[in-house]
Chains A and B, each alone.
Chain A
Amino acid sequence: MRRKVALWALVLGAMAALGAAAGARTHILKMSGRKDLSGVKGCSNCHFVSTSRLAWSKKRPHHAAPAGLVLSPDGARLYVALDDTDEVAVADVAARRVTAKARVAGAPTGIAVDPTGERLFVTCRGGDRLAVLEARTLAETGSVPVGVGPIGVAHVATPAGGRLVVANAVSDDLSVISVSPLAEVARLSAGREPYAVAAAPGSRALVVSRMANITRGDEVPASEVTVVDAASARVTLRARLDSAHLSEGIELVPRRPWALASIVRVRNLVPITQVAQGWVMSSGLALCDPVSGKSVEIPLDEANAYFADPSGVAVDADGRRAYVASGGGDVVTVVDLDRLGRWLEGADETTRRDAIDDLQLSPEYVLARVPTGRNPRQVVLSPDGKTLFVAERLDDSILLVDTESLRPVGRIALGDGGEKDPIRRGERVFARARTTFQAQFSCRSCHPDAHVDGLAYDFDIDGVGRDIVENRSLQGLDGTAPFKWNGKNPSLKVQCGPRFAKVLTRAAPFSGPDLDDLDAFLTSLPPTRTGHETHGRLTEAQERGRRIFFAIQMTDGRPIPYSSRCSTCHRPPLYTDRLPADVATKGPFDSTGKFDVPHLLGVAASAPYLHDGRAATLEEIWTIYNPKDTHGITNYMTKHQLNDLIEFLKTL
């Protein structure tokens, strides 16, 4: 009897689902005249969507993942910023254990110490502020607002007193802060996502930007090292790093005219026909001269092995060794700077230019690879140079490495590692490179923080030179299936499944449990932070823009057809109806003009736009690429109205 009931329930449920889908299609056909509705499964494409039911709205476990590290000047204490738990911890180095923690609101991320060791300076990337802590007690003694999303910070000694330079990753600028009195003295423009800061003699600070600039067409992307005179609060130099992105560490080399910045050399303009031979990307270091701005990029990878996602950099006091964490390769690469210097001296202009592509070069100067725990990111050296401290971000620990033997000698535990948390396990899958051929890259390599790198790629599966597509953010994507620009992947598990392995990683697909954890991690990510949060109150311009977005008629009263209204396809709360749409953006090398309607949450921080990234800014979507009102009816708008619309979109 029970079986009969279950069977009937199944049949009725299937009929209800089919009926719901059919009903929904009839409804949409009536509203819009649209017939291509195979993607419609029911009412939930447009209705009954609530962000409170999405995975990223739910509470999740937090972990003591180390974000920033700094040692006290005497090397006795290690201070660690724990962004996920809103804490700063202090550990006794000799005892190798945490002795105290203090709450610091706003996701403490970067940390620096003043030369006396009495004060700590902590960037709070969620609170857009710099906090000052008394080092002895970890009590917060001051706070100053800075730009949006501050990450890196360095203390610079100047004739005018101590200054801090803070890299504001979301607002793409730098804050120069006087320590006493604590105040921001200047806001200077940087590259895209300035990330790491290193102090340099002569009142200078060097800042490396994590992402390459937004490019148009077949332009070669480049990131930037910004040299700041902290005394005069002026940018004195911008050095270009060709085809470099994901730079998360920079350090000046004593005795040499270099700064070292970790880079990923990306090859987004080359069709991805293979992964072998560094075809997609490779990791390296940029040797940047902070006086001339010239740079040479050198590989850290090998011909048949890669050490993906280079991150933090530490250099010893003599300038003889550099240590570079490979976040995806779970190693620290040790570079002999004397050997590197000798190679550089003997290298002519062409050799230097081509060095980054020479995958057999690194044995000239790489001394060793020290295995670490998961996702090593920041590294600091003890003042005597004998111990290297490595933040193992996804193990919630700090690894101690003896620099003479180049062997791990201990760990400082910060948390339990989060093994039981599928989101944490999924983040590990996301960050590890060994699921790609020769461990060349990880998911993070193109999706730092699971966001975008702003580049377009040519996946050869659609034909070489065909269907070039822009990277899409993975933040805030729960509830926005299907995936892929052509909308062919109905779920994340399909998106990251065997086809992904075939097309991109050129290795075995993720295992079932890994895929489950990856799904848990990705769906837990809230939308990107853009720095345009409204806290519930729109400005006048944003409100005008909101009305334009939801307008059903033009300024002169003419109606806007249902299918041409912004809010039809970009339906809140996720600002997508999850259906394909043809907005007449098919290019000469595209096989289709129908693309999955992207969600708009965090859109302000997701440049460039449209499926191939041809629109460098939001404005260009309509000023250049909508001449015939095929992407919404917008040509009636004045510049005022378009500006207001953009201001509203920035708030999403």
Chain B
Amino acid sequence: MKRTFTAASALLFLASVAGPLGARSGASRPAELPFPLIDRFESFGVSDGLPSWKVHCVLSEGGRVWAGTTKGLVVREGGRFRTIGPEQGLSHSVVSSLAVDPASGDLWVGTFRGLNRVSAGRIETFTQTSSGLPNNVVYSVMVAKGAVWVATAAGTGRLDLKTRAWSLYDQTNTLMHEPWCYALAESPDRIYVGVWGGGIVEHDPVRGTWKEYRDPDGEPDIDLLPDDGPVHDVTSGVSFSDGLLWQSTYFGLSRYDGSRWKTFLKDKSPLVSNFINFVAAKGKSAWICTDQGLAVTDGEIWATYRHSEGGGGLLELSRPGKGIERRRMGTALPNDFVLGASVGKDDIWLATSHGLAHGVFARPGTETKGNGK
């Protein structure tokens, strides 16, 4: 009896320490998590050399980090930031999207006035008046299957990198509901276009066919029936990885495995906010950029990063049947309004509305480090 009481007390004690108000820090990655945890954040802003605080998009490749801001493209090399703007030949200062062509290393930059190819310092611009670009307002750019794809305010364009021929896709020649295209994703044999108000259209480039995925509810404000299709038609982002297509909207998150949809809403899942700006799939998981923080999930387990009310950062780990585990972090995102992400093997770069963030993944068994740059 006495031994049982003592063991139970110990368990209770441990539970209390590990409870919601526990001050335990440390972001080691338990073996069962399907995604890495961020150990610490570094933040960069105007004082570090960024041309503006608001960062729309970010891309990390080959040791360099590119970021698109309201005042130009910025590149971080060797720890220093360098801005490339209209003075250097960029078509516009508002940079909305970035993509690298893995075949050549060229960077493609979408802006609010056209598309740019940045290659070894030379900038070549494409506008709707000088080329077959459907519209100057470029929301998303992607290099896939030997072509550059652009999602614009008046349709999706495809530039064949060998023949230099442009093809245009909008509501007149596809199943798109309307021409305002916002997001792009690629699977091994498909191209996905997120249409603003038109759900997702899927393109088979070999057959030339299109297929549409729309919110079956037709209800703009609620998800009437869960898991019946895309959660909403206003698609802000699409991303594909490992057989899974993820859709971000301003009204929740969806996931499609080729036959079944799964929808995620704030009040029905650990999703921190339905207002999602961007989604980046990696493996079986997706990193979700919301207006109230950054989340990552495989659909079952969630980790959310945001500011803590008392200051500093907060990691909320949610596992089925285990409630939410909250951990303080010594560092935090510069801002919870997260607009974009670029996920690497050891880290993640994030575009926020007030700075660029670098999240360093924890190695197994390491403790959380304090703020640092």
Question: Which residues of A line the B interface, CB within 8 A?
Answer: 147, 171, 186-189, 224, 226-227, 232-238, 293, 532, 541, 616-617, 619-620, 623-624, 638-640, 643, 646-647, 650
Known interface pairs A616-B130, A619-B132; A235-B120 also in contact (CB < 8 Å): yes
Q: How far is the CB of B234 from chain A (nearest CB, A)?
A: 24
* Interface of chain A, main secondary structure: mixed
Specify the chain A residue showing the minimal Cβ separation from B162: A187
In the bound assembly, the distance between CA atoms of A187 and B143 in angstroms comes to 14
Query: Does B173 contact A189, Cβ atoms closer than 8 Å?
Result: no
B145 to chain A, nearest CB (A): 14
Given contacts A187-B161, A619-B129, A639-B134, contact A235 B168 (CB under 8 A): no
The B71-105 residues at the A interface (CB cut-off 8 A) are 103-105
**CB <8 Å contact, A619 and B106:** no
How far apart sit A328 and B119, CA to CA, in the bound complex (Å)? 35
Chain A residues with CB below 8 A from B155, complex form: 639
Residues facing A in B123-154 (CB within 8 A) are 124, 128-132, 134-135, 154
Instruction: Specify the chain A residue showing the minimal Cβ separation from B170.
Output: A640
B165 A186 Cβ-Cβ under 8 A: no
Of the A-B pairs whose beta carbons lie under 8 Å apart in the complex, a sample of 11, sorted by A's number, is: A187-B103, A189-B119, A234-B104, A237-B121, A238-B121, A617-B130, A617-B131, A623-B128, A639-B135, A640-B170, A650-B165
Bound CA span A92–B163, Å: 42
Query: Is the CB–CB distance between A237 and B120 below 8 Å?
Result: yes
What's the Cα separation between A393 and B104 when bound, in Å? 36
A299 CB to nearest chain B CB (Å): 26
> Are A188 and B168 in contact (CB-based, < 8 A)?
no
Return B27 CB to nearest CB of chain A, in Å. 35
Flag if B119 contacts A235 (CB, 8 Å). yes
Contacts of B128 in A (CB 8 A): 623, 639
Q: Chain B, 162-186, contact with A by CB distance < 8 Å: what is the 0/1 string?
A: 1111111010110000000000000
Within the complex, what minimum Cβ distance (angstroms) separates B283 from chain A? 27
Contact assessment for B119 and A238 in the assembled complex, using a CB-CB cutoff below 8 Å = yes
Given contacts A189-B119, A235-B119, contact A620 B105 (CB under 8 A): no
Report which of B104, B120, B124, B167 forms a contact with A187, defined as CB distance below 8 A: B104
Known: A617-B131, A643-B166. A238 touches B103 (CB 8 A): no
Q: Are B120 and A640 interface neighbours, CB within 8 A?
A: no
- CA A532 – CA B124 in complex, angstroms? 22
Q: Point out residues on B near A: beta carbons under 8 Å.
A: 103-106, 117, 119-122, 124, 128-132, 134-135, 154-155, 161-168, 170, 172-173
Residue of A nearest to B106 (CB): A189
Task: Provide the bound-state CA to CA distance between A620 and B125, in Å.
Answer: 14
Distance (whole angstroms) from the CB of B181 to the closest CB of chain A: 13
In the complex, which residues of chain A have a beta carbon less than 8 angstroms from the beta carbon of B168? 639-640, 643
Known contacts A638-B172, A639-B154, A238 near B130 by CB under 8 Å = no
- A541 engages B167 (CB within 8 Å): yes
In the assembled complex, which residues on chain A have CB atoms less than 8 Å from the CB atom of B105? 232, 234-235
> Is the pair A541, B165 in contact by a Cβ cutoff of 8 Å?
yes
Counting chain A CB atoms within 10 Å of each CB, which of B128, B130, B167, B170 scores highest?
B130
A-chain residues with CB within 8 Å of residue B106 when the two chains form the complex: 189, 235
Docked CA distance A623–B26 (Å): 59
CB pair A188–B122 under 8 Å, yes or no, is no
Q: Check B120–A620 contact: CB distance below 8 A.
A: no
* Residue in B closest to A604 when the chains form the complex, CB atoms: B164
CB distance from B369 to the nearest CB of A (A): 34
CA distance A226 to B104 in the complex (A): 13
Q: Complex Cα distance A238/B119, Å?
A: 8
Contact of B104 with A647 in the complex, beta carbons under 8 Å: no
The distance in angstroms between the C-alpha atoms of A602 and B124, with both chains bound, is 23
Known: A186-B104, A616-B130. 12 other contacts (CB 8 A): A147-B162, A224-B122, A232-B105, A617-B130, A620-B129, A620-B130, A623-B129, A624-B129, A639-B132, A639-B134, A639-B154, A640-B168
Cα A187 to Cα B105 in complex, Å, equals 11
CA gap between A215 and B105 in the complex, in Å: 25
Closest chain-B Cβ to A175's Cβ sits at a distance in Å of 11
Residues of B within 8 A of A617 (CB): 130-131
Q: In the assembled complex, which residues on chain B have CB atoms less than 8 Å from the CB atom of A234?
A: 104-105
Q: How far is the CB of A651 from chain B (nearest CB, A)?
A: 11
Residues of B within 8 A of A532 (CB): 163
By beta carbon, the residue of chain B nearest A234 is: B105
CA of A638 to CA of B129, assembled, Å: 12
Contact A640 B173 (CB under 8 A): yes
